[in-house]
Amino acid sequence: MIELAGIIILGIFSQWIAWKVRVPSILPLIISGLLVGPLSTLFTDTGEKLLNPIYDPGTGKGLFPGEYLFSFVSLAIGIILFEGGLTLKRSEIKGVGPAILKLVTLGSAITFLGGGFATHFIMQLNWPVSFMFSGLVVVTGPTVIAPILRNLPLTRNVATVLKWESILIDPIGALLAVLVFEFIISAGGVSFTSMAMITFLRVILVGMALGAIAGWALFQFIRRNWIPSYLLNVFTLAFVLGVFVMSNVVAEESGLLSVVVMGTVMGNLDIPRFREILLFKESLSVLLISILFILLSAQIDLEELLLVFSNWRSFVLFGFFIFALRPIGVIICTNGSDLKTAEKLFISWVGPRGIVAAGIASLFGATLTRLGIEDAEYITPWCSWS
Protein backbone atom coordinates (compact mmCIF):
# COMPACT_ATOMS: atom_id res chain seq x y z
CA MET A 1 0.00 0.00 0.00
CA ILE A 2 2.84 2.39 0.88
CA GLU A 3 4.62 1.69 -2.41
CA LEU A 4 1.48 2.17 -4.52
CA ALA A 5 0.59 5.44 -2.82
CA GLY A 6 4.23 6.52 -2.91
CA ILE A 7 4.42 6.08 -6.69
CA ILE A 8 1.45 8.38 -7.25
CA ILE A 9 2.66 10.98 -4.73
CA LEU A 10 6.21 10.94 -6.08
CA GLY A 11 4.97 11.07 -9.68
CA ILE A 12 2.71 14.08 -9.19
CA PHE A 13 5.36 15.84 -7.10
CA SER A 14 7.85 15.27 -9.96
CA GLN A 15 5.33 16.75 -12.39
CA TRP A 16 4.99 19.79 -10.15
CA ILE A 17 8.77 20.18 -9.95
CA ALA A 18 8.95 20.00 -13.76
CA TRP A 19 6.33 22.76 -14.04
CA LYS A 20 8.08 24.86 -11.41
CA VAL A 21 11.53 24.77 -13.03
CA ARG A 22 10.11 24.64 -16.59
CA VAL A 23 11.69 21.38 -17.77
CA PRO A 24 10.06 18.38 -19.50
CA SER A 25 8.43 16.19 -16.86
CA ILE A 26 10.29 13.11 -18.08
CA LEU A 27 13.50 14.41 -16.45
CA PRO A 28 12.35 14.58 -12.79
CA LEU A 29 10.19 11.47 -13.29
CA ILE A 30 13.10 9.32 -14.47
CA ILE A 31 15.39 10.73 -11.78
CA SER A 32 12.75 9.88 -9.16
CA GLY A 33 12.41 6.36 -10.53
CA LEU A 34 16.15 5.81 -10.50
CA LEU A 35 16.44 7.15 -6.94
CA VAL A 36 13.84 4.75 -5.54
CA GLY A 37 14.95 1.97 -7.88
CA PRO A 38 18.52 1.03 -8.86
CA LEU A 39 20.29 3.91 -7.09
CA SER A 40 18.52 3.16 -3.79
CA THR A 41 20.45 -0.13 -3.56
CA LEU A 42 23.57 1.90 -2.79
CA PHE A 43 22.05 3.30 0.38
CA THR A 44 19.95 0.45 1.81
CA ASP A 45 21.46 -1.97 4.33
CA THR A 46 20.16 -5.03 2.46
CA GLY A 47 21.12 -3.78 -1.01
CA GLU A 48 17.51 -4.00 -2.14
CA LYS A 49 15.53 -1.38 -4.03
CA LEU A 50 13.10 0.84 -2.17
CA LEU A 51 10.67 0.19 -5.03
CA ASN A 52 10.47 -3.19 -6.78
CA PRO A 53 8.03 -2.94 -9.69
CA ILE A 54 8.29 -6.65 -10.60
CA TYR A 55 7.29 -9.25 -8.01
CA ASP A 56 10.04 -11.65 -6.94
CA PRO A 57 8.66 -15.00 -5.67
CA GLY A 58 11.95 -15.69 -3.89
CA THR A 59 11.80 -12.63 -1.64
CA GLY A 60 8.04 -12.06 -1.75
CA LYS A 61 8.64 -8.42 -2.63
CA GLY A 62 7.48 -6.39 -5.59
CA LEU A 63 4.27 -4.88 -6.91
CA PHE A 64 3.34 -6.75 -10.09
CA PRO A 65 4.13 -10.14 -11.61
CA GLY A 66 6.12 -9.35 -14.75
CA GLU A 67 3.33 -10.10 -17.25
CA TYR A 68 0.82 -7.96 -15.32
CA LEU A 69 3.19 -5.01 -15.18
CA PHE A 70 3.70 -5.08 -18.94
CA SER A 71 -0.05 -5.48 -19.54
CA PHE A 72 -0.68 -2.41 -17.40
CA VAL A 73 2.00 -0.52 -19.32
CA SER A 74 0.41 -1.44 -22.67
CA LEU A 75 -3.08 -0.37 -21.60
CA ALA A 76 -1.77 2.89 -20.15
CA ILE A 77 0.12 3.68 -23.37
CA GLY A 78 -3.09 3.08 -25.34
CA ILE A 79 -4.96 5.63 -23.21
CA ILE A 80 -2.15 8.16 -23.53
CA LEU A 81 -2.04 7.85 -27.33
CA PHE A 82 -5.83 8.13 -27.58
CA GLU A 83 -5.65 11.42 -25.69
CA GLY A 84 -2.93 12.55 -28.07
CA GLY A 85 -5.08 11.64 -31.08
CA LEU A 86 -7.91 13.81 -29.73
CA THR A 87 -5.68 16.88 -30.10
CA LEU A 88 -4.86 16.30 -33.79
CA LYS A 89 -6.86 18.73 -35.96
CA ARG A 90 -6.77 18.65 -39.75
CA SER A 91 -6.91 22.44 -39.86
CA GLU A 92 -3.49 22.60 -38.20
CA ILE A 93 -1.47 20.92 -40.93
CA LYS A 94 -1.98 23.39 -43.77
CA GLY A 95 1.43 23.95 -45.36
CA VAL A 96 3.23 21.28 -43.29
CA GLY A 97 1.11 18.20 -44.02
CA PRO A 98 3.55 16.70 -46.58
CA ALA A 99 6.47 17.28 -44.20
CA ILE A 100 4.65 15.44 -41.40
CA LEU A 101 3.84 12.54 -43.72
CA LYS A 102 7.50 12.29 -44.79
CA LEU A 103 8.71 12.43 -41.18
CA VAL A 104 6.56 9.48 -40.11
CA THR A 105 7.39 7.41 -43.23
CA LEU A 106 10.70 8.35 -44.83
CA GLY A 107 12.01 9.74 -41.53
CA SER A 108 11.18 6.48 -39.78
CA ALA A 109 13.05 4.53 -42.45
CA ILE A 110 16.12 6.78 -42.15
CA THR A 111 16.20 6.40 -38.36
CA PHE A 112 15.56 2.66 -38.48
CA LEU A 113 18.19 1.84 -41.10
CA GLY A 114 20.76 4.44 -40.08
CA GLY A 115 20.31 3.67 -36.40
CA GLY A 116 20.62 -0.07 -36.96
CA PHE A 117 23.88 0.22 -38.87
CA ALA A 118 25.27 2.78 -36.41
CA THR A 119 24.40 0.64 -33.39
CA HIS A 120 26.04 -2.41 -34.95
CA PHE A 121 29.28 -0.71 -35.95
CA ILE A 122 29.65 1.65 -32.98
CA MET A 123 28.54 -0.71 -30.22
CA GLN A 124 29.65 -3.87 -32.05
CA LEU A 125 26.42 -5.66 -31.23
CA ASN A 126 24.74 -8.34 -33.33
CA TRP A 127 22.51 -7.19 -36.19
CA PRO A 128 19.10 -8.22 -34.77
CA VAL A 129 19.58 -6.43 -31.45
CA SER A 130 20.97 -3.38 -33.26
CA PHE A 131 17.85 -3.07 -35.39
CA MET A 132 15.62 -3.84 -32.41
CA PHE A 133 17.10 -0.78 -30.72
CA SER A 134 16.79 1.42 -33.82
CA GLY A 135 13.15 0.37 -34.24
CA LEU A 136 12.37 1.35 -30.66
CA VAL A 137 14.00 4.78 -30.92
CA VAL A 138 12.22 5.68 -34.16
CA VAL A 139 9.51 7.22 -31.97
CA THR A 140 9.72 10.73 -30.51
CA GLY A 141 6.75 10.43 -28.15
CA PRO A 142 3.94 12.81 -27.14
CA THR A 143 4.71 12.25 -23.44
CA VAL A 144 7.90 14.27 -23.79
CA ILE A 145 6.97 16.52 -26.70
CA ALA A 146 3.79 17.87 -25.05
CA PRO A 147 5.61 19.42 -22.03
CA ILE A 148 8.09 21.06 -24.40
CA LEU A 149 5.25 22.58 -26.41
CA ARG A 150 3.63 23.87 -23.22
CA ASN A 151 6.79 25.54 -21.96
CA LEU A 152 8.18 27.08 -25.15
CA PRO A 153 6.56 29.82 -27.30
CA LEU A 154 6.99 28.01 -30.63
CA THR A 155 5.59 29.02 -34.02
CA ARG A 156 2.43 27.27 -35.16
CA ASN A 157 4.21 25.25 -37.87
CA VAL A 158 6.93 23.96 -35.55
CA ALA A 159 4.50 23.03 -32.79
CA THR A 160 2.20 21.29 -35.29
CA VAL A 161 4.99 19.23 -36.88
CA LEU A 162 6.41 18.13 -33.53
CA LYS A 163 2.99 17.23 -32.09
CA TRP A 164 1.71 15.30 -35.11
CA GLU A 165 5.00 13.48 -35.64
CA SER A 166 5.23 12.41 -32.00
CA ILE A 167 1.71 10.94 -31.95
CA LEU A 168 1.62 9.31 -35.39
CA ILE A 169 5.10 7.82 -35.24
CA ASP A 170 4.59 5.87 -32.01
CA PRO A 171 2.62 2.99 -33.62
CA ILE A 172 5.19 2.82 -36.42
CA GLY A 173 8.09 2.41 -34.01
CA ALA A 174 6.15 -0.22 -32.07
CA LEU A 175 5.41 -2.14 -35.28
CA LEU A 176 9.06 -2.07 -36.38
CA ALA A 177 10.12 -3.35 -32.97
CA VAL A 178 7.55 -6.17 -33.16
CA LEU A 179 8.78 -7.23 -36.60
CA VAL A 180 12.41 -7.34 -35.45
CA PHE A 181 11.36 -9.18 -32.30
CA GLU A 182 9.54 -11.81 -34.37
CA PHE A 183 12.60 -12.10 -36.62
CA ILE A 184 14.83 -12.77 -33.61
CA ILE A 185 12.67 -15.42 -31.97
CA SER A 186 11.87 -17.13 -35.30
CA ALA A 187 15.56 -17.19 -36.31
CA GLY A 188 14.77 -15.34 -39.55
CA GLY A 189 14.63 -17.13 -42.89
CA VAL A 190 12.48 -16.90 -46.01
CA SER A 191 9.34 -17.80 -44.10
CA PHE A 192 9.83 -14.73 -41.91
CA THR A 193 9.78 -12.37 -44.91
CA SER A 194 6.30 -13.43 -45.99
CA MET A 195 5.11 -13.50 -42.38
CA ALA A 196 6.47 -9.98 -41.79
CA MET A 197 4.64 -8.57 -44.80
CA ILE A 198 1.38 -10.21 -43.73
CA THR A 199 1.84 -8.92 -40.18
CA PHE A 200 2.58 -5.41 -41.40
CA LEU A 201 -0.46 -5.27 -43.68
CA ARG A 202 -2.73 -6.80 -41.03
CA VAL A 203 -1.65 -4.26 -38.41
CA ILE A 204 -2.20 -1.32 -40.77
CA LEU A 205 -5.58 -2.51 -42.05
CA VAL A 206 -6.96 -3.57 -38.67
CA GLY A 207 -5.63 -0.49 -36.89
CA MET A 208 -6.96 1.98 -39.44
CA ALA A 209 -10.34 0.29 -39.98
CA LEU A 210 -11.15 -0.56 -36.39
CA GLY A 211 -9.97 2.84 -35.13
CA ALA A 212 -12.08 4.74 -37.66
CA ILE A 213 -15.19 2.62 -37.03
CA ALA A 214 -14.80 2.86 -33.25
CA GLY A 215 -14.33 6.64 -33.37
CA TRP A 216 -17.44 7.12 -35.48
CA ALA A 217 -19.45 4.70 -33.30
CA LEU A 218 -18.53 6.47 -30.05
CA PHE A 219 -19.37 9.80 -31.70
CA GLN A 220 -22.85 8.47 -32.48
CA PHE A 221 -23.30 7.28 -28.89
CA ILE A 222 -22.45 10.73 -27.57
CA ARG A 223 -24.35 12.71 -30.23
CA ARG A 224 -27.54 10.74 -29.67
CA ASN A 225 -27.31 11.17 -25.87
CA TRP A 226 -27.12 7.43 -25.27
CA ILE A 227 -24.57 8.05 -22.49
CA PRO A 228 -25.56 9.99 -19.34
CA SER A 229 -23.33 12.87 -18.30
CA TYR A 230 -22.03 11.16 -15.17
CA LEU A 231 -20.88 8.14 -17.23
CA LEU A 232 -19.47 10.01 -20.23
CA ASN A 233 -15.80 10.00 -19.23
CA VAL A 234 -15.61 6.52 -17.76
CA PHE A 235 -17.69 5.08 -20.65
CA THR A 236 -15.21 6.64 -23.10
CA LEU A 237 -12.33 5.16 -21.10
CA ALA A 238 -13.90 1.69 -21.14
CA PHE A 239 -14.63 2.03 -24.87
CA VAL A 240 -11.00 2.94 -25.62
CA LEU A 241 -9.67 0.02 -23.58
CA GLY A 242 -12.09 -2.34 -25.34
CA VAL A 243 -10.99 -1.15 -28.78
CA PHE A 244 -7.31 -1.40 -27.81
CA VAL A 245 -7.65 -4.98 -26.55
CA MET A 246 -9.90 -6.12 -29.42
CA SER A 247 -7.50 -4.68 -31.98
CA ASN A 248 -4.54 -6.49 -30.41
CA VAL A 249 -6.49 -9.75 -30.39
CA VAL A 250 -7.24 -9.45 -34.11
CA ALA A 251 -3.74 -8.24 -35.06
CA GLU A 252 -1.00 -8.19 -32.46
CA GLU A 253 0.33 -4.69 -31.67
CA SER A 254 -2.30 -2.97 -33.82
CA GLY A 255 -3.95 -1.49 -30.72
CA LEU A 256 -1.70 1.57 -30.64
CA LEU A 257 -2.63 2.49 -34.20
CA SER A 258 -6.34 1.85 -33.51
CA VAL A 259 -6.54 4.22 -30.55
CA VAL A 260 -4.56 6.94 -32.35
CA VAL A 261 -6.91 6.73 -35.37
CA MET A 262 -9.94 6.58 -33.06
CA GLY A 263 -8.81 9.69 -31.19
CA THR A 264 -8.02 11.55 -34.41
CA VAL A 265 -11.44 10.74 -35.92
CA MET A 266 -13.22 11.94 -32.78
CA GLY A 267 -11.03 15.03 -32.51
CA ASN A 268 -12.15 16.15 -35.96
CA LEU A 269 -15.89 15.62 -35.41
CA ASP A 270 -18.27 18.06 -33.80
CA ILE A 271 -18.74 16.06 -30.60
CA PRO A 272 -20.98 17.45 -27.85
CA ARG A 273 -19.19 17.85 -24.51
CA PHE A 274 -15.89 17.20 -26.27
CA ARG A 275 -13.89 19.46 -23.96
CA GLU A 276 -15.13 17.51 -20.94
CA ILE A 277 -13.75 14.30 -22.45
CA LEU A 278 -10.48 15.95 -23.44
CA LEU A 279 -9.84 17.41 -19.98
CA PHE A 280 -10.56 14.08 -18.29
CA LYS A 281 -8.24 12.20 -20.65
CA GLU A 282 -5.54 14.84 -20.19
CA SER A 283 -5.66 14.48 -16.40
CA LEU A 284 -5.66 10.69 -16.69
CA SER A 285 -2.68 10.80 -19.07
CA VAL A 286 -0.69 12.95 -16.63
CA LEU A 287 -1.37 10.43 -13.86
CA LEU A 288 -0.49 7.42 -16.02
CA ILE A 289 2.68 9.03 -17.38
CA SER A 290 3.80 9.81 -13.82
CA ILE A 291 3.25 6.21 -12.74
CA LEU A 292 4.78 4.59 -15.83
CA PHE A 293 8.04 6.52 -15.95
CA ILE A 294 8.71 5.83 -12.28
CA LEU A 295 7.82 2.13 -12.57
CA LEU A 296 9.89 1.56 -15.71
CA SER A 297 12.97 3.44 -14.53
CA ALA A 298 12.77 1.79 -11.09
CA GLN A 299 12.81 -1.69 -12.60
CA ILE A 300 16.24 -1.14 -14.18
CA ASP A 301 19.04 -2.82 -12.24
CA LEU A 302 22.17 -0.95 -11.20
CA GLU A 303 24.28 -3.28 -13.32
CA GLU A 304 22.22 -2.41 -16.40
CA LEU A 305 22.56 1.30 -15.66
CA LEU A 306 26.32 1.03 -15.33
CA LEU A 307 26.35 -0.97 -18.58
CA VAL A 308 25.32 2.21 -20.39
CA PHE A 309 27.22 4.90 -18.51
CA SER A 310 30.50 3.01 -18.19
CA ASN A 311 30.80 2.43 -21.94
CA TRP A 312 32.14 5.33 -24.00
CA ARG A 313 30.60 3.79 -27.11
CA SER A 314 27.15 4.52 -25.69
CA PHE A 315 27.90 8.25 -25.68
CA VAL A 316 29.22 8.09 -29.25
CA LEU A 317 26.03 6.38 -30.38
CA PHE A 318 23.92 8.87 -28.44
CA GLY A 319 25.79 11.74 -30.12
CA PHE A 320 25.32 10.18 -33.56
CA PHE A 321 21.56 10.07 -33.12
CA ILE A 322 21.43 13.70 -31.89
CA PHE A 323 23.98 15.43 -34.10
CA ALA A 324 23.74 13.39 -37.32
CA LEU A 325 20.81 11.03 -37.80
CA ARG A 326 17.97 13.23 -36.53
CA PRO A 327 19.11 16.37 -38.41
CA ILE A 328 19.66 14.42 -41.62
CA GLY A 329 16.19 12.91 -41.45
CA VAL A 330 14.48 16.21 -40.67
CA ILE A 331 16.30 18.18 -43.40
CA ILE A 332 15.44 15.58 -46.04
CA CYS A 333 11.80 15.23 -44.96
CA THR A 334 11.07 18.96 -44.63
CA ASN A 335 12.68 19.97 -47.93
CA GLY A 336 10.19 22.00 -49.96
CA SER A 337 7.84 22.65 -47.03
CA ASP A 338 6.70 26.01 -45.63
CA LEU A 339 9.12 25.64 -42.73
CA LYS A 340 11.92 28.19 -42.49
CA THR A 341 15.56 27.15 -42.09
CA ALA A 342 15.61 28.11 -38.40
CA GLU A 343 12.42 26.08 -37.82
CA LYS A 344 13.92 23.03 -39.53
CA LEU A 345 17.02 23.28 -37.37
CA PHE A 346 14.95 23.54 -34.21
CA ILE A 347 12.91 20.45 -35.15
CA SER A 348 16.21 18.67 -35.84
CA TRP A 349 17.21 19.24 -32.22
CA VAL A 350 13.96 17.93 -30.76
CA GLY A 351 13.69 14.15 -30.80
CA PRO A 352 13.31 12.81 -27.23
CA ARG A 353 11.99 9.29 -26.70
CA GLY A 354 8.91 8.80 -24.55
CA ILE A 355 6.93 6.14 -22.76
CA VAL A 356 6.29 3.97 -25.84
CA ALA A 357 10.02 3.42 -26.38
CA ALA A 358 10.62 2.79 -22.69
CA GLY A 359 7.56 0.56 -22.26
CA ILE A 360 8.09 -1.67 -25.29
CA ALA A 361 11.83 -1.83 -24.61
CA SER A 362 11.11 -3.12 -21.11
CA LEU A 363 8.85 -5.84 -22.49
CA PHE A 364 11.06 -6.98 -25.36
CA GLY A 365 14.33 -6.47 -23.51
CA ALA A 366 13.20 -8.62 -20.58
CA THR A 367 11.81 -11.31 -22.90
CA LEU A 368 14.93 -11.55 -25.06
CA THR A 369 17.19 -11.54 -22.02
CA ARG A 370 15.17 -14.38 -20.51
CA LEU A 371 15.52 -16.31 -23.80
CA GLY A 372 19.29 -15.88 -23.62
CA ILE A 373 19.64 -13.65 -26.71
CA GLU A 374 23.12 -12.13 -26.81
CA ASP A 375 23.33 -8.33 -26.18
CA ALA A 376 19.62 -8.10 -25.26
CA GLU A 377 20.54 -6.66 -21.86
CA TYR A 378 21.38 -3.34 -23.55
CA ILE A 379 17.88 -2.68 -24.89
CA THR A 380 15.94 -1.59 -21.79
CA PRO A 381 18.49 0.81 -20.20
CA TRP A 382 19.39 2.34 -23.55
CA CYS A 383 15.80 3.15 -24.53
CA SER A 384 14.98 4.50 -21.07
CA TRP A 385 18.06 6.71 -21.23
CA SER A 386 17.33 7.92 -24.80
Instruction: Give the pLDDT of residue 58.
Output: 66
Instruction: Give the pLDDT of residue 116.
Output: 93
pLDDT tens across 215-268, in order? 999 999 999 999 999 999 999 999 999 999 999 999 887 998 999 999 999 999
pLDDT tens across 150-173, in order? 777 889 899 999 999 998 998 888
Quick check: 320 pLDDT over 60?
A: yes
Instruction: Give residue 70's pLDDT band: very low, low, confident or very high (50, 70, 90).
Output: confident
pLDDT tens across 294-309, in order? 988 888 878 777 777 7
User: Could you tell me if residue 323 is inside a domain?
Assistant: yes
Instruction: Give residue 193's pLDDT band: very low, low, confident or very high (50, 70, 90).
Output: low
Quick check: 31 pLDDT over 60?
A: yes
User: Could you tell me if residue 11 is inside a domain?
Assistant: no
Quick check: 189 pLDDT over 70?
A: no
Show the CA angle centred on residue 379, arms to residues 357 and 138, nearest 5°: 40
Average pLDDT across the chain, whole number: 86
User: Could you tell me if residue 199 is inside a domain?
Assistant: yes
Cβ atoms of 209 and 246 closer than 8 Å: no
Quick check: 77 pLDDT over 80?
A: yes
Backbone φ and ψ for 325, nearest 5 degrees, come out as: -65, -50
CATH code of the domain containing 130: 1.20.1530.20
More confident residue, 70 or 86: 86
User: Could you tell me if residue 197 is inside a domain?
Assistant: yes
More confident residue, 30 or 383: 30
User: Could you tell me if residue 305 is inside a domain?
Assistant: yes
Rounded to whole angstroms, what are the CA distances from 39 to 83, 136, 150, 251, 308? Answer: 33, 25, 31, 39, 14
Residue 56: closest CA among 46, 47, 71, 66:
66
More confident residue, 94 or 188: 94
Instruction: Give residue 14's pLDDT band: very low, low, confident or very high (50, 70, 90).
Output: very high
More confident residue, 219 or 364: 219
User: Could you tell me if residue 24 is inside a domain?
Assistant: no
- Number of domains forming the structure of the chain: 1
Q: Exposed e or buried b for every residue in 30-51, given b needs 16+ CB within 10 A?
A: bebbbbbbbbbeeeeeeeebeb
Instruction: Give residue 185's pLDDT band: very low, low, confident or very high (50, 70, 90).
Output: confident
User: Could you tell me if residue 225 is inside a domain?
Assistant: yes
Cβ atoms of 243 and 237 closer than 8 Å: no
- Model pTM score: 0.85
Span 265-278, mean pLDDT? Answer: 90
Q: What is the DSSP string of 149-216?
A: HHHS---HHHHHHHHHHHHHHHHHHHHHHHHHHHHHHHT--HHHHHHHHHHHHHHHHHHHHHHHHHHH
Query: The domain containing residue 195 runs over which residues?
Result: 67-385
Q: Determine the 3-state secondary structure of 319 from DSSP.
A: helix
The C-alpha atoms of residue 66 and residue 205 are separated, in whole angstroms, by 30
Q: What is the DSSP string of 326-380?
A: HHHHHHHHTTTSS--HHHHHHHHT-----HHHHHHHHHHHHHHHHTT-TTGGGHH
Instruction: Give the pLDDT of residue 187.
Output: 64
Span 275-287, mean pLDDT? Answer: 89
Environment class of residue 9 by beta-carbon count within 10 Å: exposed (0-12), middle (13-18) or buried (19+)?
exposed
Environment class of residue 57 by beta-carbon count within 10 Å: exposed (0-12), middle (13-18) or buried (19+)?
exposed
User: Could you tell me if residue 55 is inside a domain?
Assistant: no
More confident residue, 383 or 176: 176
Instruction: Give the pLDDT of residue 330.
Output: 95
More confident residue, 329 or 55: 329
